[in-house]
Amino acid sequence: MSAASVIEKARVKSSSLAGAVSPTIPVLVCAFGIFLLSGMDAAMKVLVIAVGVYNTVLWRSMLATLVAGTGWLAGPRSLPAASVLRLHALRAVVVGIVLLSFFWGLVRLPLAEAVGLSFVAPLFALLLAALLLGERIQRKAIWASLAGIAGVAIIVAGQFGQKTYAGDALLGTAAVLVSTVFYAYNLILARRQAMLAKPIEIMLFQNLCVAVMLGLAAPWLAIALPSNLWLPLAGVTALSLAGQFLMSWAYARAEAQYLIPTEYSAFIWAIALGWFFFDEAVTWTTLAGAGLIVASCLIAARSNPRLAEPIEVAV
């Protein structure tokens, strides 16, 4: 069976599921999944402040490997082929860069600002799809991309008015934008990966590869996690796995056009969690810039429906 026929069969199956269930429940489930993942971001910021981004990502990857490994061993399984293992390893490298750069930037920015900047990833994915896959970019998507860049510029411009953290914020902004470029590439890899492996296998080998790669520097950088941080680390892992499961469940039962807008509720949760846990105020430039980025992403998704197709993401 050709790859095209497999994709078409998956789309037909997804459409039949979407038509069989009212979108109301999947939308609510997806929104709750976004809330859990937003809570994970806030908890990760606490851990990164405490022990640094390297140790936070290292220990989280090890714990996630243990959890995913247990699930993989409990069900029917087989070792992936060498070509699939290479894809797992490649995506793990990309995800490792995403995690390190995003969470490094997160501690230097308000939570809402970092999340707002991360929304440009679909626009980068659009450009990468044109470069790597030869897809044609429609004029509407080009204008949407320019609007998204303008939104980023508005957020960055607002940082110059905050004298207390302008320099550090610019470094954090650069790190978050680097993470979004690699995250966009991660989206393309994830689509290939989802055709070749089950979600539990993807989660296992991705976290395992990240843990192994980071573990190479452990003799010089790793520290023992303080006992009072093990519970937050377990909470981060649980929030991540639960959020991913709920979103996967929702995308299997409703069309993406109903679910994509709920993903941008992460900005609202970021504002609330940033204010509650870190006493972070949100500036009008962050609100305006994030709003422009969200609008541009929705326009781009309409011009290229593939951007709205669900994928298995395990970050």
Assess if residue 121 is contained within a domain: yes
Assess if residue 281 is contained within a domain: yes
pLDDT of residue 255: 72
Assess if residue 228 is contained within a domain: no
Q: Give the residue numbers spanning the domain of 271.
A: 34-221+239-307
166: left (phi over 0), alpha (psi -120 to 50) or beta: alpha
Assess if residue 86 is contained within a domain: yes
> In order along the chain (315 residues), what is the average pLDDT of each group of 10 residues?
41 45 82 93 94 95 92 85 91 93 93 91 79 74 83 84 68 93 85 80 90 95 93 92 83 75 87 92 89 85 58 46
Assess if residue 27 is contained within a domain: no
Assess if residue 269 is contained within a domain: yes
Q: What is the Cα–Cα distance from 240 to 64, expressed in whole angstroms?
A: 9
pLDDT of residue 7: 38
Q: Please report the sign of the dihedral spanned by the C-alpha atoms of residue 187, residue 82, residue 86, residue 72.
A: positive
Q: Global pTM? A: 0.83
Structural domain total, the chain: 1
pLDDT of residue 258: 75
Assess if residue 29 is contained within a domain: no
Assess if residue 3 is contained within a domain: no
